Structure 1
Amino acid sequence: MEENSGIPINDNDCLKLEPKSKACPRPKPGEAAGGCAFDGAQITLLPISDAAHLVHGPAACIANSWESRGSHSSGPRLSAYGFGTSLSEQDIIFGAEKKLTRSIEYIAERFKPPAIFVYSTCVTALIGEDLDTVCADVSARLGISVIPVNSPGFVGSKNLGNRLAGESLIQYVIGRTEPERISAYDINLIGEYNIAGEMWDIERLLNRVGISIMSRITGDGRFNEIGHAHRAKVNMVVCSRALLGLAKRMEQTYHIPYFEGSFYGAKETSYSLRQMAYLLNDRDLERRVDRLIKREEARLAIELRPYRQILKGKKAVLYTGGVKSWSVISALKELGIKVVGVGTNKSTAEDINRIEDRVGEDVDYIAEGGAKSIIKAVKDRKADLMIAGGRNMYVALKEQIPFVDINQERHTAYAGYDGLLRLAKQITFAINHPVWEMVERPAPWDVGGDR
């Protein structure tokens, strides 16, 4: 036993512990608020649009995140169906493995998908449903991939669910199929979920220099396409908090190099393109990328000029997570906006280091979630704008703070060079909206006179 493990072996050991020592960490009530592990697994896997996604649990779990994401599909829509076993009290008492088997058989017969992802929930994990065995038996009998996703909500946060979903992909999907063609410029995008169609903007940009996407993991993804991700030459990890472990496993197993990058902001986009070309080790590709970057940055400088004049010197509080916690800072700085507060509760240590590199110490780090902390940062720093997820929108409006939605529920794509232009427009419209002048005026009945 390690000296400082804090885990007693017997009663005598307990007496030797310091008063402040704890035997083991205890779960905190509400720790999964803002997204549990089950929710995180669905965020990662639901964008695989031609697969069926079956929730083994109560009806409330099915409705938890159904159609609440902005992930778009260019083809199949099977993943939009809300499949679930909808457990009753009797199912919980007597077990529901037979009900799960019948549900899988029905989906396979009725929809004939290439795969069915089966998600455990808090209830089914607590009553001991053997998800792995049921999925293996039905898969062997029906000849279809039935994949267990063991991510009940109580095991941890949404980010843990993302990683558990990545484990399911590496264990049951990646390496199981072969592509029809292979080129020297095939890459995988990992942790990009095609929010508001951002994947399509990225793909068009890559195609202009001859880079092709082998597997989309998982935005606008297809099950068989993800199966041959092991044949790509480079992995780009877009959201490191979610699926960095998947990239590391693929590097160990298939010797595919990876890097962490972003497409938010012109500088981050240019860096990612250059890093791809470098890892693909093709000098001609590097020249094509340099020419594309030069053209796009010159065009963007002209088109952003009127927005930069308006936004220069404005202050913003950014409350998001993962890759956006630092990459959107770069995009805002390019627009002349100073970030005076940033959320870190969903960021890795590496993300926080990147934040510090971009904003320094003169910023409020919002480590704990909640509208109260965000509003305090806005007021203390006299910020002109709040950039956060949709759940904070109404708080901002009540406090008369201009607001821009940056999270996964949004309907505007902000990735790439064109995405930065869209972000500039949205922020300008939010700050200059005439409603802010109207709410500052006294009400007619307060100033007297005719209404």
Structure 2
Amino acid sequence: MAESLNAKVAALFNEPGCDKNAAKDEKARKKGCSKPLQPGAAAGGCAFDGAKIALQPITDVVHLVHGPLACEGNGWDNRHAASSGPVLYRLGATTDITETDIVMGNGEKRLYRALREIIDRYAPPAIFVYSTCVTALIGDDIDAVCRHATEKFATPCIPINAPGFVGSKNLGNKLAGEALLDHVIGTREPATSTPTDINILGEYNLSGELWQVKPLLEKLGIRMSACITGDARYHEVASAHRARVNMMVCSTALINMARKMEERWGIPYFEGSFYGISDMSDALRNIARLLVARGAAADLLTRTEALIEEEEKRAWSRLEPYRARLAGKRVLLYTGGVKSWSIVSALQEMGMVIVSTSVRKSTDNDKQKVKDLMGGDAHMVDSIPPREMYAQLRRGDADILLSGGRTQFVALKARTPWLDINQERHHAFAGYDGMVTLVRELDASLSNPVWADVRRLAPWEEEEGETDFDDEGVQALMPIA
């Protein structure tokens, strides 16, 4: 299993579809995309975490973590990936390996018993089994156990070999895609097939975002064969090889899957975004164009343009009241991946100014799109230390911070509005309706009267002419206005 995993990791680091890897020499490619993590270290964002978050939105299967209890506790339900039906994916299942199991070599036995118990109790269409640092290091062969359990219980048991120490969360995303290609996709034929079947790759239905896009496709008669993996069902993913077109939402995570599906089953793919009005419209156009090229009725293009015109008109009429208040507002965008450029496009449509955007997890293609949108790379940043981010916000370089939950307290300490746009968010920002929601939330945060109150000096501070000091007693860069 170790040799197989090493070979798979090496192949992923040499992914032909990744422009960044293709530009490296052979020695640099062998090093991989990131420094491997130390086994058992609480580094966050490990390969196990990446595999789990990529596959957990498959809602009707049980996700079984073969490892210590803490691994499942850390990775369970860490995204608001919504389901329109089954909720089995929210079951926290683990073999709960202990020190005694490690010493006595009981890991594989515990795994087999766990598989049997899950099948007896829940009868899922499949079980996904995740290896972790501990079980990979002690040599538990989850492939062999899963093979035996699949034959014994007539239920697919899918091994996900992505222990945390092999690399980053992004590598875990890719290993999850490899597991689907090796064990799931192509193992079942769809009940029906149409000339307008598509797959969407790298969309996880966070806060129900997929449900803002799916009705638009249905209006055009386009059938979503499978979303990999948002609000997905196991049988949909298993028959995804019969789709006519793949739309890739996040190339950083699943470029290997898109490329191999094109090689094996001849499914063309393109990269697009559902964020922002123009990007949503372009996504619909590209889907229609590729479907017509694959044999769909030619009038699909005309109907797509008519729907785009109708939806854009409706969206802009709802956005117009916010334009005057948001135009010229400065935004510090601290995210990564596809959102490094897709959110930029959405905000620019409202006349907002992007101070800088993070490209920590972005591909070269993502970075090029940022340059095209913002006129060069001057606004692209990698990681910003919290102290530096705090200084920027205190200076007033930006009117609002858009980021994930990890940096919200930097903004709050700097007494600056903040809006969550990462995976923990509670609002859906995709599609035309999602753009309206995003703008409404931006306006609500920026116009909240609490910011004027928290920036105001207390009466005794005004009398004494005091300025603001940070928590460590270091004078801040500017007085509070």
User: TM-score, structure 2 length as denominator?
Assistant: 0.85
| 2:300 is aligned with 1:285 | yes
CA distance in 1, matches of 2:384, 2:361: 9
Q: Return the offset for 1:145.
A: 0.2
Q: Return the offset for 1:68.
A: 2.1
Query: Which residue in the other structure is 2:438 paired with?
Result: 423
Equivalent of residue 139 in structure 1, options 150, 155, 159: 150
Q: Deviations over 1:337-364 (max 9, x none)?
A: 1111111111111111111111123644
| 2:285 is aligned with 1:274 | yes
Q: Secondary structure at the match of 1:64?
A: helix
| 2:399 is aligned with 1:384 | yes
Native 8 Å contact 2:36 2:166 kept in 1: no
CA distance in 2, matches of 1:362, 1:230: 38
Native 8 Å contact 1:57 1:86 kept in 2: yes
CA distance in 1, matches of 2:336, 2:239: 30
Within 5 Å, give how 1:427-438 maps onto structure 2: 427-438=442-453
Distance 1:423 1:162, change over 3 A: same
| 2:97 is aligned with 1:87 | yes
Q: Answer with 253-262 or 297-306: which moved more.
A: 297-306
Equivalent of residue 310 in structure 1, options 325, 328, 338: 325
Amino acid at match of 1:231: R
Native 8 Å contact 2:188 2:238 kept in 1: yes
CA distance in 1, matches of 2:384, 2:169: 14
Q: Return the offset for 1:55.
A: 0.3
Query: Which residue in the other structure is 1:345 paired with?
Result: 360
Query: Which residue in the other structure is 1:18 paired with?
Result: none
| 2:337 is aligned with 1:322 | yes
Distance 1:420 1:195, change over 3 A: same
Amino acid at match of 1:61: C
| 2:170 is aligned with 1:163 | no
Native 8 Å contact 2:401 2:417 kept in 1: yes
Q: Secondary structure at the match of 1:118?
A: strand
Native 8 Å contact 2:252 2:363 kept in 1: yes
Q: Return the offset for 1:372.
A: 3.4
Equivalent of residue 425 in structure 2, options 404, 410, 422: 410
Native 8 Å contact 2:328 2:351 kept in 1: yes
Native 8 Å contact 1:32 1:153 kept in 2: no
| 2:200 is aligned with 1:153 | no
Query: Which residue in the other structure is 1:253 paired with?
Result: 264
Equivalent of residue 45 in structure 2, options 35, 38, 50: 35
Q: Deviations over 1:6-55 (max 9, x none)?
A: xxxxxxxxxxxxxxx99x85946689844111011011100001000000
Native 8 Å contact 2:36 2:168 kept in 1: no
Native 8 Å contact 1:162 1:242 kept in 2: yes
Identical pairs, percent: 49
Native 8 Å contact 2:360 2:383 kept in 1: yes
CA distance in 1, matches of 2:47, 2:219: 38
| 2:343 is aligned with 1:333 | no
Distance 1:397 1:381, change over 3 A: closer
Equivalent of residue 113 in structure 2, options 94, 102, 110: 102
Native 8 Å contact 1:67 1:80 kept in 2: yes
Give unmatched runs, 5+ long, in structure 2: 1-26, 464-481
Q: Secondary structure at the match of 1:104?
A: helix
Within 5 Å, give how 1:116-135 maps onto structure 2: 116-135=127-146
Q: Return the offset for 1:444.
A: 4.1
CA distance in 1, matches of 2:182, 2:42: 26
Native 8 Å contact 1:340 1:362 kept in 2: no
Native 8 Å contact 1:232 1:256 kept in 2: yes
Amino acid at match of 1:317: L
Query: Which residue in the other structure is 2:74 paired with?
Result: 64
Native 8 Å contact 1:186 1:214 kept in 2: yes
Q: Deviations over 1:361-401 (max 9, x none)?
A: 36443212543353355456711111001121122111111
Amino acid at match of 1:84: T
Query: Which residue in the other structure is 2:223 paired with?
Result: 212
Native 8 Å contact 2:370 2:377 kept in 1: no
Amino acid at match of 1:169: L
Native 8 Å contact 1:32 1:156 kept in 2: no
| 2:410 is aligned with 1:395 | yes
For this pair of structures, how many residues does the alignment match?
A: 427
Equivalent of residue 265 in structure 1, options 250, 267, 276: 276
Distance 1:335 1:275, change over 3 A: same
Q: Return the offset for 1:65.
A: 2.3
Equivalent of residue 83 in structure 2, options 66, 73, 79: 73
Amino acid at match of 1:413: A
Native 8 Å contact 2:129 2:159 kept in 1: yes
CA distance in 2, matches of 1:347, 1:34: 18
Query: Which residue in the other structure is 2:207 paired with?
Result: 196
What is the RMSD of the two structures over their aligned residues, measured on CA atoms? 1.9
Amino acid at match of 1:77: V
Native 8 Å contact 1:238 1:323 kept in 2: yes
Native 8 Å contact 2:276 2:430 kept in 1: yes
Q: Secondary structure at the match of 2:75?
A: coil
Distance 1:174 1:65, change over 3 A: same
Native 8 Å contact 2:53 2:78 kept in 1: no
Native 8 Å contact 1:118 1:148 kept in 2: yes
CA distance in 2, matches of 1:416, 1:329: 15
Q: Secondary structure at the match of 1:35?
A: coil
CA distance in 2, matches of 1:145, 1:389: 36
Amino acid at match of 2:283: S
